[in-house]
Structure 1
Amino acid sequence: MRTRTYARSIAVTSAALVALTACGGGDDGGGSDSGGDASGSGEKQVNIYGTDGNMGSTLGEDFEEQGALAGMKGTLPLTELAGDFTDRLLQVDPNLGNTFNYAGETYDAIVITALAAQLAGTNDANVFKAYVNGTTTGGEKCDTFQACIDIVNAGGNPDYDGISGPLAFVDAGEPAAASFGIQQFGDDNAIDDSLTEFVLAGDEANATTDEGPAPAAPGTTGEQLVVGTLLPLTGDLAFLGPPEVAGARLAVQEINAAGGVLGQDVRLEEGDSGDATTDTATQTVDRLLQAGVNAIVGAASSTVSLNVIDRITAAGVMQISPANTSDQFTTYNDNGLYFRTAPPDVLQARALADLLAADGNNTVGILARNDSYGNGLAENTRENLLAGGLSEDQVVNVIYDPNAANFDAEVQQMVELNPDGIVVIGFNESSRIIQGLNENGIGPQR
């Protein structure tokens, strides 16, 4: 397992450093060159980047022309998943193909919840919340629910190193360090998995030293643990729904195969989060609370979670998200009932800034959606770039309304800025933005 690792400069292979040129600018290798076009066409090369909200092959489905996204790179919380885990996911949902985004984080969220409930000897989230952080640090290492529950049943304290990484929660209930993937689109407008690289950001030394109260007696039984899911089956992030749902189902299956929690099988109640433009999440939360859930896994969208977090925690129910990254949750007044297995944007911003620096971008334009996710990641990335030596006028953030009729004005700002690199921090509206960049000769189109 990886321990005490830090964000580092990214040494990307030459194949992954394919230059992104303006429309019709040719296809040549090498990193960004703010001084001109190595092919001699006279057109400046522009590097295009995405983040976890749009770095998926589903983005390419909006582009018919070959090479419309070719070479676009980006960061997202991503762990190099073991083959046996993906095989197990495919047994749950054979239609996943090779899309496993946040499946590990969802799986881990349920395992952590189950371990905390068993350690507390109760399904009451107001009690077992005190054990959550301690399941991820300070005890005896284990990497499966079976191995961890064996430690619990022997009277010990498990330190769960999960599918999604070492976890090692800080006091705020989120990972102290995390793995990020650097991914790139190929000529077919899909992610080229052969070019994916993994980097780490953060420091496990920052993990909590509070392992929680003394545990209940080994083998304590009690009322059934009921876990609800609030995951995107519809809306902007629906492409994340299938792997997250599969991760949840697999976790419950394997926990129950290992004997369950408090002497009973864990019960799973599933629900749709929709997106921030609907009240789907509120309706789902109300239904889950009526069904008697003790914990809710979700939402994927930070904005959706901010819309329902008070409703969940006020009911004395724990919320644990596999994909929320907004920094707002780190200090949110949640009565100690909110956790996440996804890393905060302060960590992704480090990985993204390192990628931008490694590609030689001396000027950067950031197009970010106006919500807690977009604003937080954009500002943290900007701060990291400034700390790395760029000046105020070399990093420009442009915040846009994701529900706008068009993004012509924002694209024009990028044309006028003429940066070495452009970062698009968005969801499904990213395709229209990138199409606009392509039409103006500063997109990834080759």
Structure 2
Amino acid sequence: MRTGILARNAAVAAAALLVLTACGGGGEEGGGGGDAAGETGGGGERQVNVYGTDGNMGNALGESFTAQGSLAGMKGTTPLTELGGDFTDRLREIDPNLQDYNYAGETYDAVIVTALAAQAAGTNDANVFKEFINGMTVGGEACTDFAACLEIINNGGNVDYDGISGPLSFTDAGEPAEASFGILQFGEDNQLDEGATDYVLAGDSANATSDEGPAYAAAGTTGEPLVIGTLLPLTGNLAFLGPPEVAGARLAVNDINAAGGVLGQPVQLIEGDSGDASTDTATQTVDRLLQGGVNAIIGAASSGVSLTVIDRITGSGVVQFSPANTSDQFTDYNDNGLYFRTAPPDVLQARALSDLIINDGNNTVGIMALNDPYGTGLMENTRENLIAAGLAEDSIQTLTYDPQAANYDAEIQQMVDFAPDAVVVIGFEESARIIESLNSQGIGPQR
């Protein structure tokens, strides 16, 4: 049984459920609004809850809107743990202009785990240290930073790294068995209201691997330097995720090297742009990184981008470690045992998202998803979880869209005609145009 703060509510139609509307309230105090999702408020306007996910739940989305309240009350999920002030302060020392921290912790942890695995293996050869990666997250003696973990290794012990992004606890497939998700909400200023953020768990650490990996190399083993490349979105439709991820990688390398490095050498970092799936930027970057002799590549953020380069990376005997890939396709991908991720698969985010939707009292749900592995995978998993929670199949309408489309008039009209209690938008930067259209039809966050 999985754990979670948001319990699944089987009594979907319970009239006593508090309805959180897209404008952040359920009507005027004293019962002026409807008491079930989809009913009209005191002014006769139908209330629709709008939800997003990790691809669009960031402050960068708010910059696309000029009118106050365009996103007010829009809620959504993203893989996120409650980051400490010390960590975010140190990230801002790396990049004072950070707007969000999405996937910064996951990126930091991917670099740390890679470094610990190389030290434990006694080599920078990815085909050797890959066998140590899962074991860095389970069993052994708990530690929360590279220096403390390195001390355990040097004292002949086994490491269980509990990172910035959570306890990790990887499965045999090299991904978290359990993960923390942030339930985020936009305020009237179209920025995320940090005071409204809640955190929930999805998954079960009991599903983590029981294999702690091979015996560690002798303490203090030295060797050739560990070279880490990054394949992170500096351009393209996920560019808003780039700054926190880049800062996370740089901070991790700084911390590793301050503690003495790996194999007696400073870790080397070679940075690169992933672009998005509509360009060949990622392929060009991967070729450059491989030519530069990297042992591991951190990225990509986009599942679609990773699918274009995973064979190139793992086929070259290099570890690919993504901080943000969530598509379920990677769980069973034939990757020569060289692909890992600190981001949880969408089967877990879908549980957190569906719990949020159900507990907000929605009985009918429309889902608009980007037509790529991320969008379609999260859409289908969310739909399945909503049905398992008690919604009828015909009370859920799903559709996919082309992010490069000139407009989304046809898709928006489908939502208008369906008239759901809730609309879920699973996408990237193009979500702004979709939400503008939802607002113009009176079924968006703006009131």
What TM-score results when the alignment is normalised by the length of structure 2?
Answer: 0.94
State the distance in 2 between where 1:131 and 1:289 align: 22
Deviation at 1:19, TM superposition (A): 1.6
Contact 1:21–1:27 (8 Å) recurs in 2 = no
1:236 Cα deviation after fit:
0.4
Q: Corresponding residue for 2:395? A: 394
- Partner AA of 1:138 in structure 2: G
1:20 aligns with 2:22: yes
| CA deviation vs aligned residue, 1:66-111 (integer Å, no higher than 9, x gap) | 11111000000011001111111111111114x1111110000000
Hey, what does 2:3 align to over in structure 1?
6
* SS at 1:182 equivalent: strand
1:80 aligned to 57, 79, 82, which one?
82
| Equivalence for 2:39 | 36
User: What is the alpha-carbon distance in structure 2 between the residues aligned to residue 34 and residue 261 of structure 1?
Assistant: 55
Q: Distance in 2 between matches of 1:5 and 1:165?
A: 16
Distance 1:254 1:31 in 2: 53
- Tell me: CA distance 1:365–1:136, structure 2 relative to 1, closer, same or farther (3 Å): same
Cα deviation, residue 162, structure 1:
0.1
1:93-151 deviation per Cα after TM superposition (whole angstroms, max 9, x unaligned): 11114x11111100000000000001111000000000000000011100010110101
2:224 partner letter: E
Letter in 2 for 1:351: A
Q: What is residue 358 of structure 1 aligned with on the other side?
A: 359
Match of 1:330 in 2: 331
In the TM superposition, what are the counterparts of 1:367-446 in structure 2 within 5 Å?
A: 367-446=368-447
CA–CA distance in structure 1, aligned partners of residues 124 and 104 of structure 2: 24
* Residues 19 and 37, structure 2, Cα contact 8 Å, conserved in 1: no
The change in CA–CA distance for 1:149 and 1:371 in structure 2 (over 3 A counts) is same
Offset, 1:27: 6.2
CA distance in structure 2 between the aligned counterparts of 1:27 and 1:255, rounded to whole angstroms: 52
SS at match of 2:445: coil
Deviation of residue 155 (structure 1)? Answer: 1.0
Number of residue equivalences:
435
CA distance in 2, matches of 1:69, 1:87: 27
Structure 1 SS opposite 2:237 = coil
Alignment of 1:314-329 (within 5 A): 314-329=315-330
Task: Give structure 1 stretches of 5+ with no counterpart.
Answer: none
Preserved CA contact (<8 Å) 2:27 2:34: no
Query: What amino acid does structure 1 have at the position aligned with 2:4?
Result: A
Conservation of the 8 A alpha-carbon contact between 1:32 and 1:420? no
CA distance in 2: counterparts of 1:439 and 1:88, whole angstroms: 41
- The separation in 1 between residues aligned to 2:116 and 2:153, in whole angstroms, is 8
User: Within 2, Cα distance between the matches of 1:172 and 1:243?
Assistant: 26
Which residue type is aligned with residue 82 of structure 1?
Answer: G
Cα distance, 1:31 vs structure 2: 9.0
1:52 maps to a residue whose letter is: D
- The CA distance in 2 between the partners of 1:292 and 1:368, in whole Å, is 38
Q: Of 45, 49, 54, which aligns to 2:47?
A: 45
**SS in structure 2 at match of 1:368:** strand
1:171: which partner in 2? Answer: 172
**1:402 offset after TM fit, Å?**
1.2
State whether residues 32 and 47 of structure 1, in contact with CA within 8 Å, keep that contact through their aligned partners in structure 2.
Answer: no
Following TM superposition, by how much is the alpha carbon of 1:43 offset from its aligned partner in structure 2, in angstroms? Answer: 2.3
Shift in CA distance, 34/88, structure 1 to aligned 2, threshold 3 Å = closer
Partner of 1:285: 286
- 2:185–2:193 contact (8 Å) kept in structure 1: yes
1:44 deviates by 1.8
Kept in 2, the 8 Å contact 1:18–1:28? The answer is no
Task: Find the aligned partners of 1:261 and 1:86 in 2 and give their Cα distance.
Answer: 25
Aligned counterparts of 1:380 and 1:153: Cα–Cα separation in 2: 43
What's the Cα RMSD here? 1.8
Q: What amino acid does structure 1 have at the position aligned with 2:3?
A: Y
TM-superposed CA distance for 1:5, in Å, is 6.5
Contact 1:79–1:181 (8 Å) recurs in 2: yes
Per-residue CA deviations over 1:29-48 (Å, capped at 9, x if unaligned) read: 78972352232x22221000
Give the whole-Å Cα distance in 1 for the aligned partners of 2:2 and 2:198: 16
Superposition deviation, residue 28 in structure 1: 4.5
- Residue identity matched to 1:7: G
Identity %: 71
**Which residue in the other structure is 2:15 paired with?**
none
Query: What is the letter of the counterpart of residue 207 of structure 2?
Result: N
Residue matched to 1:104: 105
Distance 1:360 1:51 in 2: 19
Kindly indicate whether the alpha-carbon contact (under 8 Å) linking 1:21 and 1:44 is maintained by their aligned counterparts in 2.
no
Task: Measure the CA separation in 1 of the matches of 2:417 and 2:118.
Answer: 56
Amino acid at match of 2:37: S
The equivalent residue for 2:247 is: 246
For 2:97, what is the secondary structure of its paired residue? Answer: helix
Distance 2:28 2:199 in 1: 24
- Normalised TM-score (structure 1): 0.95
8 Å Cα contact 1:33-1:420 kept in structure 2: no
Verify the 8 A CA contact 1:34 1:44 in the aligned structure 2.
Answer: no
Asked whether 1:116 is paired with 2:113, we answer: no
- Per-residue deviation, 1:9: 2.2
**How far 1:21 moved relative to its partner?**
5.8
Q: Which residue of structure 2 lines up, in the alignment, with residue 135 of structure 1?
A: 136
Residues in 2 aligned to 1:64 and 1:57: alpha-carbon distance in whole angstroms: 13
Contact 2:20 2:360 in 1 (8 A): no
SS in 2 for 1:331: coil
- The Cα shift of 1:10 comes to 5.9
Q: Give the unaligned 5+ runs of structure 2.
A: 9-17
Residues 93/329 of structure 1: CA separation in 2 closer, same or farther (3 Å cut): same
| Deviations 1:6-32 (CA, angstroms, capped at 9, x unpaired) | 134269xxxx9642269xx99657897
In 1, Cα distance between equivalents of 2:177 and 2:118: 22
* SS of structure 2 residue aligned to 1:74: strand
The answer for the alignment partner of 2:259 in structure 1 is: 258
